[in-house]
Amino acid sequence: MLEEKFNSLIKLIGKTPLIRIRYKYNGCIKTACCKAEWYNLSGSIKDRVAYYILKDAYEKGLINENSTIVEVTSGNMGISFAAVSRYLGNKMVAVMPKFMSEERFKILRMYGAELDLTESFEAAFEKAETYKEKGAFLPYQFENKINALAHYETTAPEIEIQTDKYPCFIAGVGTSGTLHGCGKYFKEKYGSKVFALEPLQSSILTLGKSLGSHKIQGLSDEIIPGLYPKELVDDIIRVDDNDAICMAQKLAKTFGIGVGISAGANFLGCVISNMDGALTVFADDNKKYLSTALSDNSLKSKFVDDIELIDFEVVRFND
C-alpha cells in the first residue's frame, strides 16, 4: 500500500517545463534556461526533496505512519513536507521564524501542518531538537545529502534533456541542495561552471557571517548550510534584493510569468554570469509573496531597467 502511494505521488513531482528566455543586456543577446519548478505538487522545487527524503526514511525504517515529521523551514520545504506527509498519513510540524510571509503560514495550515514560530532561525533550530528528544523525525534539510541527491538524480538530468548547452549552473543558496546536486552533475559531465548566488544584503557565503536581513525569502537563512559545496563553486554572485524583486516583477509584467523573488535573483545571476545558455531554476511562483515587497510597484532598479526581455520558448519534458 505504501509503495503504491509513493508510485502515485511521484507522478505529480518533477518533469517540469524549461523556459528559455532571450534577453538583451549591454548590447548582447543571450539566453537563460530556467526550470519552472512551480509545476510540482505543492508549487515548488522542494517537493522533489521532500519525496526523496521521506521515501528513503520509510525504506530504512526510520519512520512509519505514526511518526511525526518536524522541520526547520523558511517556507517552501516545510510546505512540501506538509503536503507529502499528509498524503502518507504523517503529522508534520513546521518550526520557523515568525517574520516569514503570512501566505506561507496559511498554506502550511491548509495542508494540516502545525506551526511553531520562533524569533529567529537560530531559535528554530534549537526548538526542533526538543521535538527530536520526544521521538520526532527531523529531515535536517540543510545537511541531509539526500537533498542534493534528489536534484542530482531528477532536476539535473531533466535539464540536460531539455537543452543542449551547459556553460554554467547558477542557484541561490538556501539549503544548497539544488546548487550541490545540479552543480555536481553538470560539472562532472560537462565541466560546467558552478555559481552560488546570495543576497548582497547578507553576503554570508562571501564573508562567513551575515551582514543582516534581506528580502529574498528562502536564501541565506542565517547559516552556511552543511550541504554547501564549496569545492564545486567557481564563484559567488551577489544580488541586491531590490534588484531581485524588480526582476521578478518584470518577468511577470513582460511575459506573464509570475515567479518568486529568488527566481528574479537567479535570472539576474544568469545575466551577471555573462554566459549564453546559463542554467538555473525558478524555485516557485509569486503567490507566496503577496504580502511582501514583491507586490510593491513603486520599486525601481536601473540594472533591471537595462535588461531587455525579448521572448521565450518553453520546452516541456516530453517534447
CB 183 within 8 A of CB 169: yes
Tally: H helices and E strands in the chain: 12, 10
| Residues 213 and 119: beta-carbon distance below 8 Å | no
Regarding beta strands 18-25 and 308-315, do their DSSP bridges make them parallel or antiparallel, or are they unpaired? antiparallel
Spatial CA neighbour of 167 closest among 274, 13, 49 = 274
Cα radius of gyration rounded to whole Å, the chain: 19
Interior/surface letters 70-97, b for 16+ CB within 10 angstroms, e for the rest: bbbbbbbbbbbbbbbbebbebbbbbbbb
The residue type of 21 is I
Instruction: Return d(Cα 149, Cα 199) in angstroms, integer.
Output: 25
CA distances from 223 to 3, 134, 204 (A): 36, 25, 7
Which of 35, 46, 55, 184 does the annotation list as catalytic? 46
For residues 257 and 144, give the distance between their C-alpha atoms in angstroms, rounded to a whole number: 32
End-to-end CA distance of the chain: 33
* 289 three-state secondary structure: helix
Rounded-to-integer distance, Cα 191 and Cα 275, Å: 14
Can you read off the three cell numbers belonging to residue 51? 519525496
Q: Which of 192, 220, 262, 273 is catalytic?
A: 262
Q: How far is CA 174 from CA 31, 39, 141, 206, 217, in A?
A: 25, 20, 10, 14, 9
Asked if 46 is an active-site residue, the reply is yes
Catalytic residues: 46, 262
